[in-house]
């Protein structure tokens, strides 16, 4: 796709792009495909391009909501969640050259690799990973049926009947939804920005630019797992139902032409988007050498999130060897820990357990524990929240103490807690139909002959399974140390026997664990 007509449109609408410094070219698929390249050495703090706010495509800038009528827009629930922006995009695209954004639509992809578009057979390859349960296809399609279809059918003047099965079809809805998912930016409310800027000036921080953050902080298709609550990554994900919580109501989700042409890779970011009252500026955050790719950041999420939101994975050298995403995580759901206590039946049928869980949630606990990839070969730590929760569900004494003090248990590792975690990790591993050994074998023999979707699924699975394996080893080791008999020091004598040396080691480790 030729980029020049897009550049001409961009510049003729007061967009600025330093074409002597950057260009848009085709990189290999493993480097993101189309992206931006530095044409010369770029110092830190250089403005590569600036996008006037009038060029952003959002429900605030599209003419559709006012043509439709703001009251009607609200009556159909289009002011909540992401369906309003999806409808604006479908409508703007349908206007062809009548739309201000025609040259922008001309360069947007028409096919995406996100799992929303995968066959069931390919989706099965993701079983056990956290991609499938968060896909939200059903919820998105409910939105389509309940908001979009009724809205478009009332206004044949805006949405001609002959366009309904093409330009306003469920497929177009998913395409636009996933374009938002992989390319949109979430902007703070402008008035608030101005207030903040005032404040900044008062505090004279010296930084004149407001940092916008990264692309795509969520989408209409984003939903949480049945009992999962927020975790580190879900903060980056907007909620699909667009509930009127204050957080989402002051945010504007917008497509930002040109800013969304930048690829990203784990910790490669060399530019960032900053906002000013009238425009958004892409500014280098470190020096960039001639010929290097200009990388934005998507927040360095794990591969499960990268794949679900963007349709690609990071596959780069890892500290411990092999390739993958250093930001990978595994999610361990609280209900798996409950099942691993041996508690019979569902939580609903177990009033005692239900009370403990409610207490946990009321005290601010999450119902998913995130196990992060170790940053070095020795640095695995069990998340304190995981230990605290397991204490709460396992120990009568801890539960009584927690209730009487109104405080969650201290995160302690004892044999009983660790055995429950060990069992939960074992069950978590069984959620994948294949083993780590089978997957790594496939990776070493056939990765490149697999289809793109299967390759991506394999990389996501391996990343999660490797982390699980490390945590399982760690927990087994902790249990072994705790179960080892305490050996008394020999009263006297010369060289220690091996058993004694080992127990010395064990004593040392026990100390470290306390």
**Site residues, ligand SAM (CB under 6 A):** 32-35, 109, 182-183, 215, 260-265, 310-312
Q: Which CB, 267 or 379, lies closer to ligand SAM?
A: 267
Give the whole-angstrom CA distance, residue 284 versus residue 49: 10
Find the shortest distance in angstroms from Cβ 247 to ligand SAM. Answer: 23
Q: How far is the CB of 248 from ligand SAM (least distance, A)?
A: 21
Instruction: Give, rounded to a whole angstrom, the gap between the first and last alpha carbons of the chain.
Output: 60
Contacts of 497 (CB under 8 A, 6+ apart): none
Q: What is the DSSP string of 16-82?
A: EE-TTTEEEEE--GGGTSEEEEESS-B-TT-EEEEEEGGG-BSTTTSSHHHHH-HHHHHHTTTTSTT
Range list of β-strands (E), 230-373? 251-255, 263-264, 271-275, 279-284, 293-296, 316-317, 323-324, 329-333, 368-372
Contact 282, 276 (CB under 8 A): no
Closest distance to ligand SAM from the beta carbon of 31 (Å): 6
- Give the shortest CB-21-to-ligand SAM separation in angstroms: 18
Q: How far is the CB of 296 from ligand SAM (least distance, A)?
A: 7
Q: In this complex, which beta carbon is closest to ligand SAM, that of residue 33 or of residue 504?
A: 33
Minimum CB separation of residue 134 from ligand SAM in Å reads 17
Question: Is 184 within 8 Å of 255 (Cβ atoms)?
Answer: yes
Closest approach, Cβ 257 to ligand SAM, in A, equals: 11
Of residues 275 and 369, the one with the C-beta less far from ligand SAM: 275
Distances in Å between the alpha carbon of 137 and those of 132, 133, 134? 9, 10, 9
Nearer to ligand SAM, 257 or 409 (CB): 257
CB of 26 to ligand SAM, least distance (A): 8
- Order of strands across the sheet that contains 47-52: 16-17, 47-52, 279-284, 271-275, 210-211
Shortest Å distance, C-beta 507 to ligand SAM:
47
Query: Shortest approach of ligand SAM to residue 264 CB, angstroms?
Result: 5
Q: Report the residue number, 34 or 401, with the smaller CB distance to ligand SAM.
A: 34
* In the complex, minimum distance from the CB of residue 305 to ligand SAM, in angstroms, rounded to a whole number: 12
Pick between residue 94 and residue 261 the one whose CB is nearest to ligand SAM: 261
**Residue 106 or 139 having the CB closest to ligand SAM:** 106
Decide whether 104 or 471 has the Cβ nearer to ligand SAM. 104
The helix or strand, by DSSP H or E, that contains position 481, with its residue range, turns out to be: helix 452-483
CA proximity to 483, closest of 416, 398, 389: 416
**Least distance to ligand SAM, CB of residue 92, Å:** 18
| Shortest distance (Å) from residue 109 CB to ligand SAM | 6
Cα–Cα distance between 462 and 129 in angstroms, integer? 10
Q: Per DSSP, what are the bridge partners of residue 369? A: 332
Q: Which is nearer to ligand SAM, 3 or 484 (CB)?
A: 3
Q: Which is nearer to ligand SAM, 57 or 382 (CB)?
A: 57
DSSP string, 207-236: --SEE---B--B-TT----TT----TTGGG
DSSP string over 402-449: HHHHTSPPP----HHHHHHHHHHHHHHHHTSSS-HHHHHHHHHHHGGG
Residue with smaller CB distance to ligand SAM, 296 or 394: 296
Comparison of 262 and 279: residue with beta carbon closer to ligand SAM: 262
Q: Which is nearer to ligand SAM, 21 or 178 (CB)?
A: 178
Go through 359-382 and write b for each residue having 16 or more CB atoms within 10 A of its CB, e for each that does not.
bbeeeebbbbbbbbbbeeeeebeb
- Residue 429 CA to residue 464 CA, distance in Å, equals 9
Q: How many CB atoms lie within 10 A of CB 331?
A: 22
């Amino acid at each position: 796709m030729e980029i020049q007509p897009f550049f001409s449109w961009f510049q003729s609408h007061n967009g600025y792009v330093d074409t002597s410094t950057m260009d848009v070219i085709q990189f290999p698929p493993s480097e993101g495909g189309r992206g931006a390249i530095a044409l010369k050495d770029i110092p830190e703090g250089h403005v590569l391009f600036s996008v006037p706010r009038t060029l952003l495509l959002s429900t605030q800038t599209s003419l559709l909501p006012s043509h439709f009528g703001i009251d009607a827009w609200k009556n159909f629930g289009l002011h909540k969640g992401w369906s309003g922006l999806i409808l604006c995009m479908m409508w703007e695209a349908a206007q062809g050259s009548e739309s201000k954004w025609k040259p922008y639509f001309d360069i947007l992809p028409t096919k995406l690799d996100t799992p929303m578009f995968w066959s069931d057979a390919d989706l099965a390859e993701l079983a056990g990973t956290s991609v499938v349960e968060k896909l939200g296809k059903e919820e998105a399609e409910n939105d389509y049926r309940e908001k979009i279809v009724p809205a478009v059918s009332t206004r044949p003047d805006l949405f001609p009947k002959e366009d309904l099965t093409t330009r306003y079809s469920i497929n177009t809805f998913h395409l636009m939804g996933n374009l938002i998912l992989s390319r949109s930016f979430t902007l703070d409310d402008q008035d608030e920005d101005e207030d903040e800027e005032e404040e900044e000036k008062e505090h004279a921080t010296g930084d004149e630019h407001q940092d916008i953050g990264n692309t795509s902080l969520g989408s209409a298709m984003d939903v949480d797992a049945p009992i999962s609550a927020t975790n580190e990554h879900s903060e980056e994900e907007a909620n699909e139902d667009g509930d009127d919580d204050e957080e989402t109501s002051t945010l504007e989700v917008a497509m930002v032409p040109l800013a969304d042409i930048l690829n990203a890779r784990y910790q490669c970011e060399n530019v960032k988007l900053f906002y000013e009252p009238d425009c958004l500026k892409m500014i280098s955050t470190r020096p960039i050498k001639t010929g290097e790719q200009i990388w934005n950041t998507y927040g360095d999420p794990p591969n499960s999130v990268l794949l679900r939101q963007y349709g690609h994975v990071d596959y780069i050298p890892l500290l411990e060897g092999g390739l993958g995403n250093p930001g990978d995580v595994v999610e361990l759901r609280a209900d798996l820990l409950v099942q691993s206590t041996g508690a019979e039946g569902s939580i609903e049928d177990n009033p005692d357990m239900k009370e403990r869980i409610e207490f946990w949630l009321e005290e601010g606990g999450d119902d998913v524990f995130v196990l992060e990839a170790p940053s070095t070969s020795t640095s695995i730590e069990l998340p304190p929240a995981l230990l605290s929760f397991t204490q709460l569900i396992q120990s009568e004494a801890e539960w009584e103490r927690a209730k009487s003090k109104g405080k969650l248990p201290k995160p302690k590792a004892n044999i009983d807690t660790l055995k429950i975690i060990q069992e939960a990790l074992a069950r978590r591993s069984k959620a994948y139909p294949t083993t780590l050994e089978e997957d790594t074998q496939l990776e070493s023999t056939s990765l490149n002959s697999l289809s793109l979707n299967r390759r991506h699924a394999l990389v996501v699975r391996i990343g999660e399974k490797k982390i699980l394996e490390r945590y399982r080893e760690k927990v087994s080791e902790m249990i072994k140390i705790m179960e080892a008999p305490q050996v008394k020091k020999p009263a006297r004598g010369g060289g220690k026997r091996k058993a004694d040396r080992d127990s010395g080691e064990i004593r040392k480790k026990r100390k470290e664990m306390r």
